[in-house]
Amino acid sequence: MRENEPKEKVVVVGGGFAGLNLVKRLDKSRFDISLVDRNNYHGFPPLFYQVASSGLDPTSISFPLRREIKKRGKGVRFHIGDVAEVDVTRKVVITQYEEIPYDKLILAVGTTNNFFGNDKLIEQVFTLKSTDEAIRCRNEILDRCERAAIEPDAEKRRRLMSFTVIGGGPAGVEIAGALGEMKRYILKRDYPEIPMEDVSIRLIEGSDRLLHTMSEKSSQDAFRDLKSLLVDVKLQHVMKEYNDNVITLEDGTAIYSEMVIWTAGVTGTPFKLTGTEVKRGPGNRLVTDEYCRVKGLDGIYAIGDIGYTETPLYPRGYPQLAQVAIQQGKFLAGMLNGGPTKPFRYADKGSMATIGRNRAVADIKGLHFDGWWAWMVWMFVHLISLLGMRSKLNVLLNWMWSYFTYNTALRLLLRGSQYPLRGSMWDKN
Ligand SMILES: Cc1cc2nc3c(=O)[nH]c(=O)nc-3n(C[C@H](O)[C@H](O)[C@H](O)COP(=O)(O)OP(=O)(O)OC[C@H]3O[C@@H](n4cnc5c(N)ncnc54)[C@H](O)[C@@H]3O)c2cc1C
Interior CA angle at 97 toward 95 and 98, to 5°? 70
Q: Counting atoms of ligand 1 from 1, which one is nearest the CA of 266? A: 53
Summarize the confidence of residues 147-164 as an average pLDDT.
97
Summarize the confidence of residues 299-305 as an average pLDDT.
98
Mean pLDDT lowest among 236-245, 272-281, 394-403, 408-417: 408-417
CA dihedral in degrees (78, 79, 81, 83; nearest 10)? -90
As for how many domains the chain has, the answer is 2
Q: What is the pLDDT of residue 107?
A: 98
193-199 long-range contacts (CB < 8 A, ≥24 apart) are: 193/148, 193/149, 193/150, 194/145, 194/148, 194/149, 194/157, 194/161, 195/157, 198/148, 198/154, 198/157, 198/158, 198/161, 199/161, 199/163
CA dihedral in degrees (214, 215, 219, 225; nearest 10)? -100
Quick check: CB of 317 below 6 Å from ligand 1?
A: no
Taken in order 317, 323, 325, 326, is the CA torsion positive or negative?
negative
**Is 1's pLDDT higher than 80?**
no
Q: What is the pLDDT of residue 417?
A: 56
Measured between alpha carbons, how far is 40 from 47 in angstroms, rounded to an integer? 18
Q: Is residue 417 part of a domain?
A: no
Summarize the confidence of residues 163-178 as an average pLDDT.
96
**Is 423's pLDDT higher than 60?**
no
Write the CB contacts of 409 (distance below 8 Å, at least 6 apart in sequence).
none
Residue nearest to atom 44 of ligand 1 (CA): 37
Where are the alpha helices (H) located in 246-341, listed in sequence order?
322-336
- Give CA separation, 207 vs 74, 210, 223, 228, in Å: 49, 8, 13, 21
Rounded to the nearest integer, the mean pLDDT of the chain is 91
- Pocket test residue of 41, 56, 285, 321 for ligand 1, highest count of atoms within 8 A of CB: 321
The CATH number for 220's domain is 3.50.50.100
Q: Is residue 211 part of a domain?
A: yes
Measured between alpha carbons, how far is 47 from 147 in angstroms, rounded to an integer? 27
Measured between alpha carbons, how far is 68 from 42 in angstroms, rounded to an integer? 9
- Do 239 and 249 touch, CB atoms closer than 8 A? yes
Quick check: CB of 48 below 6 Å from ligand 1?
A: yes
Task: Report percent pLDDT > 90 for the chain.
Answer: 72
Summarize the confidence of residues 256-277 as an average pLDDT.
95
Summarize the confidence of residues 50-75 as an average pLDDT.
88
Shared-domain flag, residues 222 and 296: no
Summarize the confidence of residues 372-378 as an average pLDDT.
86
Summarize the confidence of residues 266-292 as an average pLDDT.
95
Shared-domain flag, residues 246 and 305: no
Quick check: CB of 218 below 6 Å from ligand 1?
A: no
The CATH number for 89's domain is 3.50.50.60
**Is 366's pLDDT higher than 50?**
yes
Q: What is the pLDDT of residue 322?
A: 94
Shared-domain flag, residues 201 and 176: yes
Shared-domain flag, residues 154 and 222: yes
- Pocket test residue of 109, 262, 346, 364 for ligand 1, highest count of atoms within 8 A of CB: 109
Please give the residue range of the domain that contains residue 254: 121-264+350-405
**Is 428's pLDDT higher than 70?**
no
Shared-domain flag, residues 109 and 145: no
Shared-domain flag, residues 332 and 286: yes
pLDDT 10s digits, 109-134: 999 999 998 888 988 999 999 999 99
Q: Is residue 396 part of a domain?
A: yes
Q: Is residue 345 part of a domain?
A: no
Shared-domain flag, residues 104 and 237: no
Measured between alpha carbons, how far is 424 from 264 in angstroms, rounded to an integer? 33
**Is 429's pLDDT higher than 70?**
no
Q: Is residue 428 part of a domain?
A: no
pLDDT band at 43 (very low <50, low <70, confident <90, very high): very high
Measured between alpha carbons, how far is 279 from 285 in angstroms, rounded to an integer? 9
Shared-domain flag, residues 104 and 153: no
- Pocket test residue of 23, 37, 174 for ligand 1, highest count of atoms within 8 A of CB: 37
pLDDT band at 189 (very low <50, low <70, confident <90, very high): confident
Q: What is the pLDDT of residue 421?
A: 53
Q: What is the pLDDT of residue 407?
A: 63
pLDDT band at 388 (very low <50, low <70, confident <90, very high): confident
**Is 392's pLDDT higher than 90?**
no
Residue of 117 and 200 predicted with greater confidence: 200
Q: What is the pLDDT of residue 409?
A: 57
Shared-domain flag, residues 254 and 271: no
Q: What is 45-57 written as a DSSP string?
A: GGGHHHHHTTSS-
Shared-domain flag, residues 71 and 157: no
Mean pLDDT lowest among 158-162, 283-287, 359-363, 390-394: 390-394
> Cα 219 to chain center, whole Å?
20
**Is 100's pLDDT higher than 90?**
yes
- Do 48 and 128 touch, CB atoms closer than 8 A? yes
Domain boundary among 286, 309, 336: 336
Q: What is the DSSP letter of 342?
A: P
Summarize the confidence of residues 377-395 as an average pLDDT.
85
Q: Is residue 20 part of a domain?
A: yes
